Structure 1
Amino acid sequence: MEIFWVVVGVVVVILYLINQNKTRVTNRTEITRDRKIKTDDGEISIRERQVIDSVSTQYTKPNTVNVEQPDYDKTVISDYYKQLAKQKAIESLRQNQTQPVASSRPVEKIVNPLPRVEQKQITPKTESAPVEHRKVCTRCSRNLPMDKFRKSSKPHHDGYTTWCAHCLDGPKNTRHTKWCPICEIRRKRTSYYKNANNADGLMSWCKSCWDSYRGRS
């Protein structure tokens, strides 16, 4: 805003000085021409008068001092600077009124404490033992690891035989005898307890091995 008023004031002063330094010059030229014409009766005198008015405006340079009116120019410039100083004082007063008054009380600096970082207890990961896959042999009825079985070419769901390798290597059963996978002795079928869950209706182990197992358990 202050720059705007300064520019306006400078333009006004320049225009005023230009008008003061302008000089209007008017020239008037009169031309009179006399001539005589002879006639049969005598002479006729003719006077022609021509008036030429020319008006010209002369300007002096802005930095040229006008000698005729020095006091008047100084007064105008002085009034301009007085008005400019007055305008600056008004603008300064407005700025002081809009600025908040600073308090003389000391400012207490509040320091926020750093938030506590909760230390998470890191429990060591215990590596669980790999789950051992096991399978029940349908001949000896024992729950054995998978490495005790052989891979089968038949379409079993797990790809292994239903009998363990030990039972596959054992002798086959006959009509009157049955091989015990525990004692590895072929005994008569009467030497086995009955079990309706098996296909032959007998237990997989002989009576001696089963009784011995029951006695230990």
Structure 2
Amino acid sequence: MLAVLVVLAVLVVVAVWAVATYNGLVRLRNLVQEAWRQIDVELHRRHALVPALVETVKGYAAQEREVFDDVTRARAAAAGGGVGPAQQAETENALSGALSRLFAVAENYPQLRSSENFADLQAELTNTEDRIAAGRRFYNANVRQLNTRIESFPPNVVANAFSFSRAEYFEANDPAVRAVPSVHFTAGEAPGPAAAVDGGGQGGGLDPRRDA
């Protein structure tokens, strides 16, 4: 009888441990998914800003068609969706590179650089990049915790039994393309033509002062 009780006690302990481990894995998986949704919101905000930015630059530098085409293609690839965090990071890196070239073009047009609409769009894009970077750190921290739990023994026994899988990190391969390049403004430069910053254009619906 004593042996039976010992066996039952061991089984109860194992069952309680297994349930607690399973629930912990579910909680970590949900945290990863929630963190990714937060990044996704900011990525959509970034993708929405790009067309308005391109149209604003076009108003002053229409001849830079190749740069505009590169940004448009990169934006379309990044906004396509339906991919995992690792592949999304690759498309976002490509978009960052294209935006870097767009801002390099802007440096050659003083009226564009002094345009209020261009400055507002750049500020909003920079703020969005900062939120994406913060979200990336939070997401990757949760991914690391989940993956460590899945790979550690004995939790990996429960993870394998219930098909928990490793989550993908969201990382930029080249740190140089993570941030939006700074565009320097000169106080004496005249503002650009109003037609290029007209609120009825593609950038009209964007409010750079909206809440994050």
TM-score, normalised with respect to structure 2 = 0.24
Larger Rg: 1
Larger RCO (alpha carbons 8 Å, 6+ apart): 2
Structure with more of its chain in helix, by fraction: 2
The structure carrying a bigger strand percent of its residues is 1
